[in-house]
Every structure is written in structure tokens, then in C-alpha cells.
Amino acid sequence: MNLEIIILAGGQGTRMRSNRPKALHLIGGAPMLHHVITAANALAPQQIHVVVGAHGERVKAALKHAHAGETMPNLNWVAQAAPRGSGHAAQQAMPGVADAAMVLILYSDTPLIGAPTLRSLLAAAHAQSESQSLALLTARVENPTGLGRIVRDARGKVTGIVEQKDADSAQQQIRECNTGVLAGRADIIKAALARVDNRNAAQEFYLTDVIAHAVAAGVEIATCQPRGAAAVAETIGVNCSLDLMRAERIFQARQARDLLAQGVRLRDAARLDVRGRCQFGRDCEVDINVILEGAVEVGAQCKIGANTIVRDSRIGAGSIIEANCVIEQAVIGARCVIGPFARLRPHTQIAAETRIGNFVEIKQSHIGQGSKINHLSYVGDSELGVGVNIGAGVITCNYDGANKHRTRIGDDVLIGANSQLVAPLVIGDGATIGAGSTITKNVAAKKLALSRARQSTVPGWARPVKKTRSAEKSAETTTKKSVKK
């Protein structure tokens, strides 16, 4: 039986108090809808139908960006012209689904749902006869406040779902709750949806009413639950900023557990954020408050210091990233030392055994093997050879107010402290730039270039001395006497 998945993503997210569409609020640096699509795609469906509301084009654009670098699943975007409830949203997608298909209905605001749990739900639906193929994902919750309760008869058969506001005192004691995730034959769900009405306070069509209508038609509802206490978190719905924060921490705890299982040594698993995909070699250490964003690859025996951000970058084996560094779209070779307080901006390549020290900023540059930029320097739009030594306070002046220009520095060059290199500029192999120089012309190999005023000593000069109050009065008295004469 072919599988088709419907994801309801048209919610406005009123309780989020945000102008951002609800489906686009972030978990782990990616939209909630991205996580649900990833779980859905793992089930190899024939089609994924995503129902969107008024912000549909914005949602599409964000998903395309979130899936950049990945294989984008085949999505069928379905518009819900007006927000008339979850049942109405599902109805918009149903015309594109074959009657004999197995349908799985998911929600963009349940971002932690996992493929294994969904496979179990589908198995429960498949286990029934075709005329009875309908399964509901439920969860046993210690504090079910606000959730719909699963109502069963004396034989334990599901008879419906009652919302908390409609539940009597006995029903409010029920701990088995509705997650909204539903699987079954399309024709069964279509028939039940056709009977759903909007005679309620909100005047909306609720997908939960499908269960009662299916039971009335003689369909027996199978149920499935996430396995293990921690698995219940998969069913958490995000309706407000507090829910979003809780879901984020659960997601980050999962990422930390995965890294620990791979052998990465985390100083504190609760103080690490992974907002993308990361890969570590053996024997790596990560200190507190590190943020890994996008695609991050870390070689074996690396150390990442506290309060560091690494975004879309590769770090070679044996390298050390000291505390408080920001590394973005950079490639760092093996056995390098970066920081503390260093910033590597996009399109920077650092060759092996290079030292980038504190308060150094590098942008769109290639730094050759064994070179050193130890402190307080800016290197932009530059190419440095092997064994270059950049002194403190050196600046490559790469911008003329309209265009960027490149600086090319050969092997074994020494740039003295507090120098400015005005691009475009070429400095030959083995050249030396004297400290305090402003270099505007090319420098030949193995030559010394200087640009500074000649030092001189002024004879007879004395440093001014601050006058005391008594000396000021004496000078004032002398001036008055002189005027009288």
C-alpha cells in the first residue's frame, strides 16, 4: 500500500505573539516544519502534502533555504485559503490522495516526532483489515491539562476524544491523551472527514472528530504510543514561546546524547547547542557554551574552548580552538591554534600548523602553513605564504571606498608591528617590513621596506611641569605690580 503523508502547517500561531508563521519558528536552528518533513521523508512516502495558510510563499522559501545542501523531498504544497480548523486543512489535501493509499497526518508544531514512532503507528494501521485500517498515536501524560483525553468503552475500545473543556470529572482523570497524529486508509479518513461539522464555539472543523465518526461507522481504532518515558517528548506540541523553549532543550539534550555516544567529551552536555549537522573524529573535547551551527566537521583530537561559535566550517585534526572565538564558513588545517578571541570570517582558509592569536580578524584570505598572526591584527582579502610572521597591530587596507583589493605576501615574510599594507600589493618571498610602516608599493623578495619619519632629538627641551596653587598666586601678584609701574 502506497504511503502519502499530510503535514498541517497553516497555523497562525496566535499564542506565539509573533509575525513569523508558526511553522517557521526554530528548533535547533531550523524551522519546526523542516524537522517534521525530515521525519516524514525517512518513511519513503510516495508524496508529502504540506498544507499552508496565508504565508504559504514565505514558508516555501524558508524550507528551500533550510534544506540547502540536502536532497529536497518531493513536496506538494496545498493552500488553505482560510483558517477553518485542522479538519478543514486535512480536507484540502485529500483530493490529491488515492483512496487506496495509506495516509499519515502530521503537524508542523510537533517538531520532535521521530521516524521509529511513526513506523510503529503505521504498523498498527497495517495490522488491521483494510476496512478497519485506522490508528491513532496516543501518549500517557502525568499532567494532561489542556489535552484531549482518549475515551474507551468497557472493553477498552476507543470511542472518541473529549477535549478538557468538555470532559467531566471522571474523564479529566484519564491520563491517555490525544497527540493528533493519525494513520489509516485514505477512503476511511475521507468518509469520516465528510461528516465533520463546525458546530462548536470556534466554528472550526476539528480533525479529532474523525475518530468519533469512524467509530460510528463501525471502524475499530488501533492505538500506538511512543516507547519509553523520554519518548513521550516526541508528541509535545509547540503553541507558545514557553513550549518552544522546552522543545529546544529536549532537542539539544538529544544532540548531546548522540555526541556522547560517539565518544565526544562534553564538559557539560546541558551547555551545548547544535543547530545543524556536526561530525566529530575521535578524542575530541568541547567546553561549555559552545554553539555549532550549519554543517560542522571536526577532525580527531580537537579541542573547542568555551563560548565559541563554529558555523559551516571544517577543523582539521589536532587543532585547538581557544575560548571565545567566532568561526564562520572557514577551513582550518591540522594542528592549528586559533584564539582566544579570534574571528575567522567567511571564505577563510587556514593551512596546517598555523597560529591565529587573540583579537585577530581574518576575512576571505588564505593563510599558509606555519604562519603566525598572534595578536591585534586584521587580514582581509589576502594570500599569505608559508612561514609568514605578522606582528601586532598590522592591518591590510583592502577597501578603497568602492572596491576590494588583494594583498599577496610570499613565503617567510616578516611584517613588523603597527604596519599598514595598502592593497593592491605584492610582497616578495623573504621580505621584511619595518615596524610602523605604511606600505603602498610592491616589495621585492628579500628586501627591507620602511616608511616612517626619521627620529630626532630636540636639544634643551623640558617636559612641562604642572604649576602649584602658590606658584600661580605669585605669578598673578607679579603681573599686577608690573601693570601698576
Same domain flag for 29 and 150: yes
Residues spanned by the domain of 119:
3-235
Q: Which of 65, 213, 375, 405 is catalytic?
A: 375
Query: Is residue 375 annotated as part of the catalytic site, yes or no?
Result: yes
User: Has residue 473 got a pLDDT over 90?
Assistant: no
Q: What is the largest CA-CA distance in the chain?
A: 126
Indicate if 40 and 182 belong to the same structural domain. Answer: yes
Indicate which CATH number applies to the domain containing 357. 2.160.10.10
Pair 173, 271 in one domain: no
The verdict on residue 480 lying in a domain is no
| Whether 153 and 297 share a structural domain | no
Note the pLDDT tens digit of each residue in 8-24: 998 877 889 999 999 99
Q: Look at residue 244 and tell me if it is in a domain.
A: no
pLDDT of residue 335: 98
User: Is 353 within a domain?
Assistant: yes
Count the domains in the chain.
2
Decide which of 470 and 50 is more confident: 50
Same domain, 176 and 259: no
Which range (62-71, 287-296, 475-484) has the least confidence? 475-484
Same domain as 338, residue 215: no
* 207 and 269 co-located in one domain: no
pLDDT > 90? residue 439:
yes
Mean pLDDT of 11-39: 92
215 plus 364 within the same structural domain: no
Mean pLDDT highest for which of 123-132, 210-219, 326-335, 471-480? 326-335
Threshold 0.75, pTM exceeds: yes
In a domain, 483, yes or no: no
Q: How confident is the model at residue 475, as a pLDDT? A: 64
- Given a cut of 70, whether residue 480 has pLDDT beyond it is no
What is the domain-level CATH number for residue 38?
3.90.550.10
Is 301 a member of any domain? yes
pLDDT, average across residues 99-119: 95
Q: Assess whether 189 and 296 both reside in one domain.
A: no
Q: Is residue 47 located within the same domain as residue 108?
A: yes
Residues 7 and 43 grouped into a single domain: yes
Of 226 and 266, more confident = 266
CA atoms within 13 A on the CB side of 122: 22
- 50 in a domain, yes or no? yes
Task: Give domain status of residue 459, yes or no.
Answer: no
Domain membership flag for residue 229: yes
Same domain, 273 and 184: no
